Structure 1
Amino acid sequence: MLIISRTITLPESELVERFLRADGPGGQHVNRTESAVELRFDVLNSPSLPDDIRARLLARRDRRLTGDGVLVIQARRFRDQARNRDDVRERLVEIIRGVLVPPKKRVATRPTRASKERRLVGKQQRGKIKQTRSRKPDLE
């Protein structure tokens, strides 16, 4: 059981783990052991997630999310499998907790008259600076 919040928990049956050979340091040992972990979580078909959280998770522009709505996370930071399993599960919890709070709605505002004038004055000053850089044609 993976605890996300007081109201959301993910059962082990919804998490699919696959173990891979990790690259990086470790000598010959790294060639024989499968210490990297790939965790797959089906966001689209998960009965444990409320609809609003599922929608926010699927709306994220995350390259780890497949077209089928499956979140794929890999962990190969550590040399042993148990630490990589813990790491990948913590990262899944962080991703889901990141969408628990709905984003604030943006309130449309208009620029003030003073800010418009400041912008125009700044543009005029910048234009004068650039004008002084140009060479005047020689009059003969």
Structure 2
Amino acid sequence: MNEDLPVVGSTAIPAAELRWRFSRSSGPGGQGVNTTDSRVELSFDLASTTVFSPPRQARALDRLAGRLVDGVLTITAAEHRSQLRNREAARARLAMTLRDAVAPDPPNRRPTRPSRGSQRRRVDQKKRRGDVKRLRRSPED
């Protein structure tokens, strides 16, 4: 199994920058759940990594600020019964999280005005809806 993280943008994170911790998991597994360390915690020190360029690193630190503890991002995986599959799930989740965090902002929206036709359709729909409600009322109102 390749220890490098899947590509994040055009960057692969080396295994030396990843910290793995294993513990007993809750959930499915029968008697084996009491003896195997299948729960996986994958930690990546985002604040001190040299993998990303400074602007991408700053963007990721800003976007993930609520999830970081002392600049370290921790991903937990315990949904599978085997440690191997949980390792793969944690690695994929870390890659997806970092990919989203370093992605550039979408272009700003150019403000536009509603067309005359769309305004007319909106008002017509409001009138039809009001008519329906008016017709539902009892005659003594």
TM-score range, shorter chain: 0.7 to 0.9
Match for residue 8 of structure 1?
A: 11
CA drift at 1:77? 2.5
Match for residue 137 of structure 2?
A: 134
Is 2:20–2:41's contact at 8 Å kept on the other side of the alignment? yes
Aligned equivalent of 1:96, options 70, 95, 98 = 98
Q: Which runs of 5+ in 1 are unaligned?
A: none
Aligned residue pairs: how many? 137
CA drift at 1:31? 0.7
CA drift at 1:48? 1.3
Name segments (4+ residues, structure 1) moved above 6 Å: none
Higher helix share: 2
Q: 1:23-102 maps to which residues of 2 (within 5 A)?
A: 23-60=26-63, 65-66=67-68, 68-99=70-101, 101-102=103-104
**Greater mean deviation of Cα atoms: 123-132 or 12-21:** 12-21
RMSD between aligned alpha carbons? 2.7
Identity of aligned residues (%): 40
CA drift at 1:136? 2.8
Q: TM-score, normalised by structure 1?
A: 0.78
Match for residue 123 of structure 1?
A: 126
> Which string of whole-angstrom CA distances, capped at 9 and with x for unpartnered residues, describes residues 32-65 of structure 1?
11111011222233221223433443454797x2
* In structure 2, C-alpha distance between the alignment counterparts of 1:123 and 1:14, rounded to whole Å: 59
